[in-house]
A and B are shown apart, each in its own frame.
Chain A
Amino acid sequence: MTQPDPATTYAPPPEGHVSHSRLERVLRSGRFAITAELNPPDSADPADVYEAAQPLSEVVDAINATDASGANCHMSSIGISALLTRAGYSPVYQISCRDRNRIAIQGDVLGAAAMGVSNVLCLTGDGVGVGDQPGAKPVFDFDSISLLRTIRTMRDEKVFLSGRKITNPPQLFLGAAENPCIEPHDWRPDRLAKKIKAGAEFIQTNYIYDIPLFEKFMARVRDLGLDKQVYILPGVGPLASARAARWMRSNVPGIHIPDDVIKRMEGAEKPGAEGKKICIELIQQIREIAGVSGVHVMAYRKEHQVSEIIHESGILGTRIK
């Protein structure tokens, strides 16, 4: 691959687009989008990033680089995003409000855009208490919603929040997260509306294991007309075993797994294969729900399995990659 001139300024995005993102192109053209999560290495070796990205690159439109998810320390999201753009992949740069204040985040947004990042996902972030360094100082200067509005202001009004001018604004497709299956269920769609108002253009959700609950959420989303204003990519992932599922449910914030799913895992002869099967079924069911624009697949340190799941679920269809 030939490296482009490192100092090229980016051309304006195509008509009707806010960025050069492939994900944005796929979504705006009405195709079913696929994204997946890359799990950051605990090393300073770029090869580790590329090894994880490789199986994903063939099957997804964008690769999410997580930002110390679960408040655990790993290679940074901005570092991974830079490595991915260097190799021609399209990352989703995740920004959590937990670890950095407004000065750091606005600077990083420009830095990321300069390195060719064209998707960001604005997250609040899990509390520091669940991670590997519970003594850390939680920052939360922004919340995900004020962060969205700030980046939109940087992009569209060409100013920092301080009012200082940005000569060349970041061209970014703005994303946010949603967690449809946890409390307060009644207000989750309203919170989604607020994220759209703040600037969200696509949504990737947390794990969905409860289809009836998700359908209820989507029905309300459609009633509010939100599915016409934002692209929704529900999150799915394979469970490893009943024990792991129970552990996740009680130790990872914001995970809802219904009992019948855990029972099915318990009854399975090969729990790993059953988890994968459940995940594929979930994708196929989610795909049929009106207002869904794509799917986001997450599996902790199992990028190969993600690729298999995407292939076997049939969502690639006749796509030429």
Chain B
Amino acid sequence: MYRLRLFAIRHSRAFEWIYRRVEQTLVAMDPLFARIGYERVERPVALVEKAVKTVLFDCKMCGQCVLSSTGMSCPMNCPKQLRNGPCGGVRPGAYCEVKPEMKCVWALAWDGASRMKNGSQITEVLPPVERNLEGSSSWLRVSREKAVHLREAREARRTTIAMAFSGARKVEPSTAPLVEEPEAAHRDVTIDPPAGAKADVKGDKT
């Protein structure tokens, strides 16, 4: 879907608009989701999200969507999975260092951002991807985040990233989420450590 991805970036302004509408709709649906239970909607929403975004953006379901801050060019398609701009190896003609047949994801991103209403978001310093959120729905994270707003979890692990990357937190809250994760978001990736190991993990978290 490389061609569609290029198309979406060329029309970044329109896609930015559409994307915001989807987000707003989902945020408005928070009371409904809360009633059904976020654990139960996680799976179906994630499936829809994956289908739509894979076609349009070559989405990799990192769970922490930053498209609005990257010119609608999905940074997970960068072979180095950079989140903050192009590496130092871009080839002449703006082709990728690692995959020379592909345009550099970040050269495209900056180009896409230049046409967007909130394109300047690309200057925010984004945190690293939380790999344990891979596969979960970023849309739901945004809706919970915005709706729950300040009823957020106060885990140090979360608040530190939110503090260290406060700019990103402002423009793309889901990259440094403070809300708790529903069980279902983790089901695929978490491997329960054996009973003894769990105690160790706790001992380390002073």
Question: Which A residues between 141 and 195 are near B, CB-CB below 8 angstroms?
Answer: 141-146, 149-150, 152-153, 157, 159-165, 177-179, 182-184, 186-187, 190-191, 193-194
Contact A102 B159 (CB under 8 A): no
Q: Is B50 an interface residue (CB 8 A)?
A: no
- One digit per residue, 1 when the CB lies within 8 angstroms of any chain A CB and 0 when it does not, for chain B 106-122 equals 11001100000000001
Q: Is B41 an interface residue (CB 8 A)?
A: no
Contact B107 A183 (CB under 8 A): yes
Contact A193 B123 (CB under 8 A): yes
Among B6-14, B80-88, B134-142, B183-191, the one that faces the other chain is B80-88
List the count of A-B residue pairs having beta carbons below 8 Å apart: 132
Do A191 and B159 contact each other (CB < 8 Å), given the known contacts A140-B80, A161-B164? no
Contact A124 B87 (CB under 8 A): yes
Question: Given A143, A152, A179, which contacts B84 in the complex, CB threshold below 8 Å?
Answer: A143
When distances are taken between beta carbons in the complex, the residues of chain A under 8 Å from B88 are 124, 177-179, 182, 206, 253-254
Contact A143 B128 (CB under 8 A): yes
When distances are taken between beta carbons in the complex, the residues of chain B under 8 Å from A141 are 128, 131
Chain A residue with Cβ nearest B204: A164
When distances are taken between beta carbons in the complex, the residues of chain B under 8 Å from A190 are 110, 122-123
Do A124 and B123 contact each other (CB < 8 Å), given the known contacts A194-B85, A206-B88? no
- One digit per residue, 1 when the CB lies within 8 angstroms of any chain A CB and 0 when it does not, for chain B 177-202 equals 00000000000000000000000000
Do A157 and B128 contact each other (CB < 8 Å), given the known contacts A140-B82, A164-B205, A254-B89? no
Chain B residue with Cβ nearest A199: B125
In the complex, what's the smallest C-beta–C-beta distance from A195 to chain B, in angstroms? 8
Q: Is A41 an interface residue (CB 8 A)?
A: no
Contact A127 B97 (CB under 8 A): yes
Contact A153 B104 (CB under 8 A): no
Interchain CA distance A308-B44 in the complex, whole Å: 67
Chain A residue with Cβ nearest B89: A253
In the complex, what's the smallest C-beta–C-beta distance from A217 to chain B, in angstroms? 13
Contact B128 A142 (CB under 8 A): yes
Contact B92 A102 (CB under 8 A): no
Contact B126 A146 (CB under 8 A): yes
Contact B110 A187 (CB under 8 A): yes
- One digit per residue, 1 when the CB lies within 8 angstroms of any chain A CB and 0 when it does not, for chain B 153-170 equals 001111111011101000
Q: Is A24 an interface residue (CB 8 A)?
A: no
Question: Given B81, B82, B90, which contacts A254 in the complex, CB threshold below 8 Å?
Answer: B90
Contact A183 B156 (CB under 8 A): no
Interchain CA distance A143-B106 in the complex, whole Å: 13
Interchain CA distance A182-B107 in the complex, whole Å: 11
Interchain CA distance A102-B164 in the complex, whole Å: 15
Contact A183 B87 (CB under 8 A): no
Interchain CA distance A206-B89 in the complex, whole Å: 10
A162-B160, A182-B90 given. 17 additional CB < 8 A pairs?
A97-B80, A102-B128, A126-B89, A127-B89, A127-B97, A141-B128, A146-B126, A149-B125, A149-B165, A153-B164, A162-B157, A163-B159, A178-B88, A182-B89, A183-B91, A184-B106, A187-B107
Q: Give B contacts to A, CB under 8 Å.
A: 79-94, 97-98, 104, 106-107, 110-111, 122-123, 125-128, 131, 155-161, 163-165, 167, 205-206
A-B contact pairs, 19 of them (CB 8 A): A124-B88, A138-B79, A143-B82, A145-B83, A146-B125, A149-B164, A152-B164, A153-B163, A157-B164, A164-B205, A177-B88, A179-B88, A182-B88, A183-B90, A184-B111, A187-B107, A187-B110, A253-B88, A253-B91
